[in-house]
Amino acid sequence: MNPSRQLISTGTPWERAVGYSRAVRVGGHTFVSGTVAADESGRIHAPGDAGAQARYIFEKIDASLRLVGASLRDVVRVRVYLVDMSDLEAVGRAHHAAFAEVRPANTTVAVAALASPECRVEIEVDAVTAGA
């Protein structure tokens, strides 16, 4: 493995079972996996409330970024996956709260389903820190 490649795990059972990391940092670039509003035990936060799920997800993403010395302020790209585009406004408000000053590139798409039927939104980000 590349010694400059740092793998971040939060210990959820899916990481090991599926074979992925919560985040991967290479140099000044950090890539955070698609994140849903599930806690460590797999319980979904705020079933049916996409806005509350998005806020929870941004908190989880920020915590993962902080493990590698980054934060939401370093995010340059966001990808949002919704199971229902009628949730766009609520998720957009959560995105604005997290990134109003940062203004990263953003893509939002509708998908047929996510990992759990209770999940309304999944979000992934890419971040770049100084010196990258």
8 Å CB contact between 118 and 47: yes
> H/E element holding 55?
helix 50-66
Report whether pLDDT(16) > 90. Answer: no
pLDDT of residue 31: 98
Q: Would the pLDDT of 124 be above 70?
A: yes
| Residue 13 clears pLDDT 80, i.e. is over it | no
pLDDT given for residue 40 in this prediction: 80
Q: Which amino acid is at 110?
A: A
Q: Reply yes or no on whether the pLDDT at 132 is more than 70.
A: no
Kindly state the average pLDDT of the residues 82-109: 98
Please, are residues 77 and 60 in contact by the beta-carbon 8 Å criterion? no
Q: Quote the pTM value.
A: 0.93
Residue position matching structure tokens 């210990």 = 11
pLDDT above 70: residue 103: yes
Enter the tokens of residue 132. Answer: 């990258």
5-128: CATH topology is 60s Ribosomal Protein L30; Chain: A; (3.30.1330)
The per-residue pLDDT for range 54-82, each reduced to its tens digit, is: 999 999 999 999 999 999 999 999 999 99
pLDDT at 12 over 90: no
Say yes or no to pLDDT of 131 above 90: no
Which pLDDT band, with edges at 50, 70 and 90, does 127 fall under? very high
Give the DSSP H or E segment for 82: strand 75-82
Q: How confident is the model at residue 97 (pLDDT cuts 50, 70, 90)?
A: very high
